[in-house]
Amino acid sequence: MGLRYENVEMPEARRAALGIPPGYAEDDRIPRVEKVRFHEIREHYMVDAMLGSAQGADSAILICGREHSQALADSLTSKGHAVEISDLKDQNWYIEDWQSHMLRL
């Protein structure tokens, strides 16, 4: 269909070089302020990667984790882009615990 795809997640090696530890978001030993800072660094990277990849496109879809959606939308909006957030969790067909659901079939 002529669609482009770009993985905009920050590579593990780049995270390590920036001092972002693996699994930081779930690590209770890491202070909340540091988690926020790590998220911001990654979100800045994702926005730059997306905009670089989407040059010339009329529209783009960015798939991300729920904890990043508003920050990414705010960043893109501040750069003059129209943004719509759609959370799969808001869909009537969405099942959070899909594994248990599927095992009951």
Q: If DSSP states are collapsed to H, E and C, what string results for the chain?
A: CCCCCCCCCCCHHHHHHCCCCCCHHHCCCCCHHHHHHHHHHHHHHHHHHHHHHCCCCCCCCCCCCHHHHHHHHHHHHHCCCCCCCCCHHHCCCCCCCHHHHHHCC
64 band by pLDDT with thresholds 50, 70 and 90: very high
Q: Where are the domains of the chain?
A: 12-103
Residue 1: its pLDDT value, please?
A: 74
* Top-confidence residue, 72 or 90: 72
97 band by pLDDT with thresholds 50, 70 and 90: confident
